[in-house]
A and B are shown apart, each in its own frame.
Chain A
Amino acid sequence: MDLLLSDGGIELKTNYRIQTVLVLTLLLLCSAFGAAEPGGNGDSIQNMQCGGACHGDASMNETSGSILSLSSPATIYVGVPTTLTLTATNLDTSTTRLVGLFLLTDMTGHSDTPQDAGWEILSDANGGAMNYIEQKLDPGQNETSISWVLRASTLGPTTFYAAIHHGGGYSSPFFGTTASGFEVTVQPVPENLPRLSADFTPPTLRTLDTPTEFNIETQFTDSMQFEWKSEDGLIMNAIVNSTENNSWTATIPAALQPTTVQWRVILGGEGPEQTTPWFTLAAEESSWEVTINAVYLQAFALLFLTAGIVIALQTRFSSDASTSKYDEELVGIKTGVSDKTPDDLEENDGGEQA
């Protein structure tokens, strides 16, 4: 681009104008590719449109060919955890092989999470308690099945839906939903049914290298078995101790790597024996700690040290200013308001036009 300065105005040669427009157009076109998030957004509580993301935008997305289906146990009691399983088949994703899966209670795009319908998510397949979770498929894998553990707080029917977001050819954002709603009916819990306490919230995270002790509160329970399994699927039992009436503890070994385990309890009592859903527990490294004051002190030291060094050197280098041949030429062709210090501007009353 060549700039011609004349009479205080700036003219662009026609050729360079065209080139500039072409470059800007190209940059604008590139933004559509750069705006994608192929790395996903992470597990979270999301509505069907994922907060207005590209996948939920009807003008941008494409229909996913995935087939989604939901399933649940035949009987669901109020206040008792239950499992909803989503099976996705015919998956075709982008090169990142990342899929985002939603559990929803309507298809309006707002107020459509299970929480909005009075359900509490106790556990998801990734070791959290989110209605939107992301999974990375293995090469060649074109189906997956994931489960959420939920607890209903009200009686009556609820219709669940599932949705999927994923990438595909030419970076298109794909979007798909279940063909129809999946209705479940919450029934009153029978008297004397052994069950987890209504306010029991299972842990979803634990730290590495530390055995995990579970403190489990139950109702109408005389005995408990604790089962857990790691990612290889082998089911193991942990020793259960009763600390007081309907209060139990069990300990599982420490995790050495950031993996997930699943656990459940089998409850015995006067009523029929009950087996809880599999709860997912993820292991992560213990939280990182640092002395905050030392960080702030070093941050401000870096700020003032860099500023001080720059100004000190600049003052030194500029003080012995010897105008180079090139600079003399530059001064001769400079136009517009010259770059002067405030003191210069005061002296010249508004600057200088070269």
Chain B
Amino acid sequence: MISSQTFHVVTTELVVGAFSVAGLCFMFCTLIHLGLLKRPSWSAIFDHVAHFTLAFGLAATPFAILSGLSSAPGEGLNSPILVNKMFLSMTGFGFALGCLLARWRLGDKVWSTTKSTALHGASGLAACGSILLTASAGGTFARGESLLDMFHLPYEHVLLFPVMVSAIALVLGLTMLVLSWKRMNASSTVH
């Protein structure tokens, strides 16, 4: 039986690696579909790799979050860095989930217009960015330094909403998710 610390290292490496590849591929995909990179033959490959690695990273993310909670020193979330890690990883999870659900139900249409392309690429990159920020916060927490220290990110400050605001945001998000899901299903069955 391995310790939760070791398991956390394994899962975070999986998550960060997968999301990094996904972010790179989303960037290339977006540039190609916006016509900024004249390599249309790469499009399908980057599209597949981006979404596959994003799905892989997404599958590993809950294990990383749970093992991170159990391996943190002390009891519970006793550091602002840990709270920010939780927020960032869940935000990245949300971006990745939205991105994958849209690609699954809408298929190629996510790349069909400039707006749609920009949004899909941005959501994929935002997922990648959130996870990389989470990893950077983890480095700051565990080792006191990380690659992104040059940006002097405020990991020590937590933006904690009032409970009512969080509850409203949760309900709003779930409502949007359900309504959009129905709309996407209706759209996809037209095919």
Contacts and interface: CB of A to CB of B under 8 A. Distances in A.
B49 interface: no
B40 A329 contact: yes
B188 A341 contact: yes
Given A311-B181, A315-B183, A290 B160 contact: yes
A39 B144 contact: yes
B35 A326 contact: yes
A318 B90 contact: no
Interface string B41-57: 11111011000000000
B94 A304 contact: yes
A101 B102 CA distance: 54
Contact of A334 (B44, B98, B167, B177): B44
B162 to A, nearest CB: 8
Interface in A300-323: 300-315, 317-323
Given A314-B119, A317-B116, A335-B44, A303 B105 contact: no
Nearest to A39: B145
Contact of A314 (B47, B114, B120, B166): B120
Contacts of B105: 341
B176 interface: yes
B90 A314 contact: no
Interface in A121-154: none
A116 interface: no
A341 B191 contact: yes
A258 B109 CA distance: 57
A300 B35 contact: no
Interface centre among B48, B98, B104, B126 (most CB of A within 10 A): B98
Contacts of A40: 143
Contact of A308 (B77, B161, B163, B174): B174
A300 B90 contact: yes
Interface majority SS (helix, strand, loop, mixed), chain A: helix
A307 B95 CA distance: 5
Contact of A292 (B76, B79, B110): B76
B10 to A, nearest CB: 16
Interface in A200-222: none
Contact of A288 (B78, B94, B106): B78
Contact of A289 (B41, B78, B97, B183): B78
Interface stretch (A85-93, A189-197, A342-350): A342-350
B67 interface: no
Interface in B89-108: 90-91, 93-95, 97-99, 101-108
Contact of B191 (A4, A322, A326, A347): A347
Contacts of A304: 94, 169-170, 173-174, 177
B172 A340 contact: no
Contacts of B48: 339
A350 to B, nearest CB: 16
A309 B98 contact: yes
B41 A5 contact: yes
Contact of A299 (B42, B90, B104): B90
B133 to A, nearest CB: 13
B94 A307 contact: yes
Contacts of B123: 310, 314
A3 interface: yes
Interface majority SS (helix, strand, loop, mixed), chain B: helix
B78 A321 contact: no
Nearest to B118: A317
Given A311-B101, A314-B102, A330-B40, A297 B170 contact: yes
B66 interface: no
A295 B116 contact: no
A333 B95 contact: no
Given A307-B98, A308-B172, A339-B47, A299 B111 contact: no
B161 to A, nearest CB: 5
A37 B180 CA distance: 46
A347 B107 CA distance: 14
Contacts of A313: 119
Contacts of B76: 292
B173 A343 contact: no
Nearest to B107: A341
Interface string B101-140: 1111111111111111001100100100000000000000
A42 interface: yes
B109 to A, nearest CB: 4
A324 B112 CA distance: 7
A37 B145 CA distance: 10
16 contacts: A290-B158, A297-B163, A297-B167, A303-B173, A306-B95, A308-B175, A310-B98, A314-B102, A315-B184, A315-B187, A321-B116, A334-B43, A339-B47, A339-B103, A339-B108, A344-B107
Given A306-B173, A311-B98, A342-B188, 10 more contacts: A291-B160, A297-B163, A301-B173, A307-B94, A311-B177, A317-B113, A333-B40, A335-B44, A339-B107, A342-B104
